[in-house]
Chains A and B, each alone.
Chain A
Amino acid sequence: MTTTAPGPGRSPTRERPAPPRRRPLTLRRRESRAGLALVAPTLLVTIAVIGIPIVWTVVLAFQRVRLATLRKTGLFGEFTMDNIDRVLHTPGFAETLWVTLLYSIGGTVGSILLGLVAALVVRRPFRGRTLVRASMLLPYVAPVVAVTFVWQVMLDPQLGIVNDWGQRLLGWDAPVPFLTQESTALTTVIVFEAWRYFPFAFLFLLARLQAVPGELEEAARVDGATPTQRFRHILLPQLLPVIALLGVLRFIMTFNKFDDVYLLTGGAAGTEVVSVRVYEFLTARTDIGAAAAQAVVLAVVLIVFVLIYLRFFGRRVG
């Protein structure tokens, strides 16, 4: 110990003849200054690469901008409600929203249910558990382009293994074009979503399960509770806050998803979700204003849903 600071206050700095100031205030102020200095670069970069683009999208949503006229348009051109109007009245708007909702809810519920089952079965140690656990995370970490491509080939009517086995072993009359016909495409995409994202729920639920004190379950067992009763009355209540949190996180992330649907179906066969539509506006129609308006509508709808959700489950999530 090198400090010889007199008095009860601990000095965080090297002893030097400091000007007589009131010490607690200085410390606090110094901490505040260090905090601001350290957070400033992070904050600035965040604002530059995320904050400004978000605000700009809102501005673009109320301007008439096309890719061809881009060089002539200023940042604050003429404001107009045309884009919003056009987006709301382009055929298929309501259907897109409905599909996005079905897709988000289906993907969220599916991935959480699968994740819960997976977490429950690998909770206790067994031989090879580490390997099983790691394998279960594969769908989540693998590149989306690779896994969607494999699914496409697996489900392909001509050379896919699913249709080959279905026809030979399950007696299907004809190959099923899972990703290109209206009746199956959306369901397939939702199943894919549950498959790809259940590891996310699995990780969080497993972490929570392992934090449940062993005595709790042991006491219930001694009192004669069967395994299903112990799950229902001991584990499930402990997991509910995490499940509620996962519900909102997965819903938001699925609602925003672009890659999975775009790569699997390209938005065809009744699977066009909002972000795929934004992409279409942006690239195929090169209508930047409409794309921005559509994106703003996406964000607003999302915020409304999250607020409704938090209103019902807010206490659990908090």
Chain B
Amino acid sequence: MDRDAIETVSLRWVRRLVIAVFLVVTVFPFYYMLLLSVRPIERLLLDPGSLVVGFGELTVATYAEVLRSTANGGQGFLTFIRNSGLVAVAATLLTLVVAIPGAYAVARLRFFGRRQVDFLFLAVYLFPSIVIAIPLFVVFTRAGLRGSLFGLVLVYISQTLPVSVYMLKNYFETIPVSLEESAAIDGAGRLGIIRRVSLPLAMPSIMAVALYDFMIAWNEFLFALLFLVDKPDRWTVSLGLSLLADGVEVPKTVLMAGSVVLTLPIVILFFASERLLTEGLTSGAEKG
């Protein structure tokens, strides 16, 4: 056998093995999360290494406890879900409204300072969010906006806006200019062109950006911690989970149920739109 044949055959096996390892490494923590969330804590302490739910062990009491309101002796995650959902949806919509015109302008229209604006959006995207956090913390403390969900939405726009502009711009650039030109010849004005030609064509990309923004806002932790920590009824799911995990009172299995509650919406959204998202995220990557 020559070197080529040896390499080809052995690499085929190595490849299968590596795929299997990657699958285990990426999926296992999520399986483990689900597994612990349905096992009673006593069973977990007795047998921490078990990979399956033992016979008669399965319980959903953890979920009941985590979702019940604090008044009823639960952890109040339903309120957290409502808060997170409200904040994430509002931040996503506002971001899109603000990002779309700007992204279109930077991608398509020649105007004074266009290159500088383009660079600015990229630069702020890469800026440490803790740097932004300090003055916002000061302003919000002064304005009494700390502990307000509306304030948090404003802050989340600072997290979602630059990346949204960047992704949308890359997509608008791929729409052939000729399509817009023919609409112009047919007598459409600039706004008409955007509304009837560019936006419908960019719809998949806009959806991808919306999903991405929703995920950023839903998953966000630092700002929620800075601004909401004193107001338990305003906590987001991320914040609630991390603060409860710091204490010792709540059993780990109950918190695992909380983790599942936090993760599930994102995973469902992600698997429902996987193709859309991956393409949206890397569009323009080929230009590297």
Binding site for B on A (CB under 8 A): 1-3, 10-14, 28, 30-36, 38-39, 41-43, 45-46, 49-54, 56-57, 60, 65, 67, 70-71, 117-118, 121-122, 130, 132-139, 141-147, 149-154, 158-161, 163-165, 168, 195, 203-204, 206-208, 211, 224, 226-228, 241-242, 245, 249, 252-253, 255-256, 258-259, 262-263, 275, 278-279, 282-283, 288, 291-292, 295-296, 298-299, 302
Q: Known contacts A34-B190, A46-B162, A295-B134; is A150 also within 8 Å of B221 by CB?
A: no
B55 at the binding interface (Cβ < 8 Å): no
By a CB distance below 8 angstroms, the chain B residues around A136 are 22-23, 26
Bound form: Cα–Cα A292–B135 in Å = 8
**Pairs of residues from A and B, 10 with the lowest C-beta to C-beta distance, nearest first:** A42-B102, A35-B111, A35-B109, A164-B49, A256-B128, A38-B105, A56-B135, A12-B184, A49-B158, A39-B105
By a CB distance below 8 angstroms, the chain A residues around B155 are 49
- B274 to A, closest residue via Cβ: A134
Q: When the two chains form the complex, which single residue of B109, B142, B267, B286 contacts A70, counting CB atoms closer than 8 Å?
A: B142
Beta-carbon contacts under 8 Å, B130-149 to A: 130-138, 141-142
- Asked if B238 and A145 sit within 8 Å, CB to CB, the answer is yes
- Asked if A38 and B109 sit within 8 Å, CB to CB, the answer is yes
- Asked if B135 and A31 sit within 8 Å, CB to CB, the answer is no
- Asked if A146 and B105 sit within 8 Å, CB to CB, the answer is no
Binding site for A on B (CB under 8 A): 3-4, 7-8, 11, 15, 18-19, 22-23, 25-27, 29-30, 32-33, 36, 44-45, 48-49, 98-99, 101-106, 108-112, 114, 117, 120-121, 124, 126-138, 141-142, 154-155, 157-158, 161-162, 165, 181, 184-187, 189-190, 215, 218-219, 221-222, 226, 237-239, 241-242, 245, 252, 255-256, 259-260, 262-263, 266-267, 270-271, 274, 278, 281-282, 285-286, 288
Tell me what chain A mostly uses at the interface: helix, strand, loop, or mixed.
helix
- Asked if B109 and A34 sit within 8 Å, CB to CB, the answer is yes
By a CB distance below 8 angstroms, the chain A residues around B282 are 203-204, 206-207
Show 16 residue pairs from A and B whose CB-CB distance is below 8 angstroms, ordered by the A residue.
Answer: A43-B117, A50-B124, A50-B132, A54-B127, A57-B135, A142-B30, A142-B267, A150-B256, A153-B256, A168-B49, A207-B285, A208-B285, A226-B3, A252-B126, A292-B134, A295-B131
- Known: A226-B4, A226-B7, A258-B130; 6 extra A-B contacts, CB below 8 A, are A43-B117, A57-B132, A71-B142, A137-B270, A145-B219, A203-B278
Q: Known contacts A142-B266, A145-B238; is A275 also within 8 Å of B288 by CB?
A: no
- Asked if A10 and B278 sit within 8 Å, CB to CB, the answer is no
- A3 to B, closest residue via Cβ: B185
Q: Known contacts A122-B19, A149-B259; is A138 also within 8 Å of B267 by CB?
A: yes
Q: Known contacts A70-B142, A159-B48; is A256 also within 8 Å of B262 by CB?
A: no
Q: Known contacts A31-B110, A150-B29, A154-B29; is A134 also within 8 Å of B271 by CB?
A: yes
Bound form: Cα–Cα A204–B278 in Å = 9
By a CB distance below 8 angstroms, the chain A residues around B32 are 150, 153-154, 161
By a CB distance below 8 angstroms, the chain A residues around B158 are 49-50, 53
By a CB distance below 8 angstroms, the chain A residues around B274 are 130, 133-134, 137
Bound form: Cα–Cα A256–B13 in Å = 39
By a CB distance below 8 angstroms, the chain A residues around B27 are 135, 138
By a CB distance below 8 angstroms, the chain A residues around B126 are 249, 252-253, 256
- Asked if A150 and B18 sit within 8 Å, CB to CB, the answer is no
- Asked if B104 and A38 sit within 8 Å, CB to CB, the answer is yes
- Asked if A141 and B270 sit within 8 Å, CB to CB, the answer is yes
- B219 to A, closest residue via Cβ: A143
- Asked if A32 and B242 sit within 8 Å, CB to CB, the answer is no
Bound form: Cα–Cα A154–B44 in Å = 12
By a CB distance below 8 angstroms, the chain A residues around B49 are 161, 164-165, 168
- B15 to A, closest residue via Cβ: A121
B4 to chain A, nearest CB (A): 5
Bound form: Cα–Cα A70–B142 in Å = 8
- Asked if B128 and A298 sit within 8 Å, CB to CB, the answer is yes
- Asked if B154 and A49 sit within 8 Å, CB to CB, the answer is yes
Q: Known contacts A3-B185, A28-B110, A145-B262; is A207 also within 8 Å of B286 by CB?
A: yes
- Asked if B127 and A36 sit within 8 Å, CB to CB, the answer is no
Bound form: Cα–Cα A298–B155 in Å = 21
